[in-house]
Chain A
Amino acid sequence: KAGVTQTPRYLIKTRGQQVTLSCSPISGHRSVSWYQQTPGQGLQFLFEYFSETQRNKGNFPGRFSGRQFSNSRSEMNVSTLELGDSALYLCASSLAIGLAAGGEQFFGPGTRLTVL
């Protein structure tokens, strides 16, 4: 069974640009969550999608948005990039209806975004 895949793996952008990251969950998983990993803040929850609906949202500005498609693939968009958005962005998929249901998550390899 294929694992969670994320594309691209590495990305370099400049301030003010926007970026879209993609995540394909494990086949059959309908929940996709996104996380930001930075050295200073650790791993922080961005949002969770289930059946094309955002179910949970972390404490991030509106420049961070996402969506989920009918095949459960998810995209995350960051507009008006800032230097502080440089981070590793991880997505994870789960069979569970929601993170609150305590479902096991399977993480992808991440997208390393560098903002210059």
Chain B
Amino acid sequence: ILNVEQSPQSLHVQEGDSTNFTCSFPSSNFYALHWYRWETAKSPEALFVMTLNGDEKKKGRISATLNTKEGYSYLYIKGSQPEDSATYLCACSGGGADGLTFGKGTHLIIQP
């Protein structure tokens, strides 16, 4: 079972500012990394799935990078908006039979 860590646990950001947070995982046993956004009272929404070292993915103002050699991924949000307020989860699979292991999430609050 992988140990997936996310930091920070929570984050308050002013509207319009850019921000980023981290997901760390064991580099020795990695197959894929998933990022999800989970808004209150809604279902988790898939943002990105990345498998290759050096992967960079972008969706609107949100982007993510992956470093499998050192075991981390960054999620960036450019020009934060109130609708970006949510919990951002990352999850890793090691390619085995353990499925996905989730981090505890980063709770992002955008302040107007």
Contact = CB atoms under 8 A, between A and B. Distances in A.
Instruction: Give the size range of B's interface with the partner.
Output: 20 to 34
Interface in A55-112: 55-59, 90, 92, 99-110
B26 to A, nearest CB: 15
Interface string B22-37: 0000000001101000
A43 interface: yes
Interface stretch (B12-20, B40-48, B68-76): B40-48
15 contacts: A33-B100, A35-B102, A42-B102, A43-B102, A56-B98, A99-B100, A100-B31, A100-B93, A100-B96, A102-B34, A102-B93, A103-B49, A104-B46, A105-B34, A105-B46
Interface of B: 1, 31-32, 34, 42-46, 49-51, 89, 91, 93-105
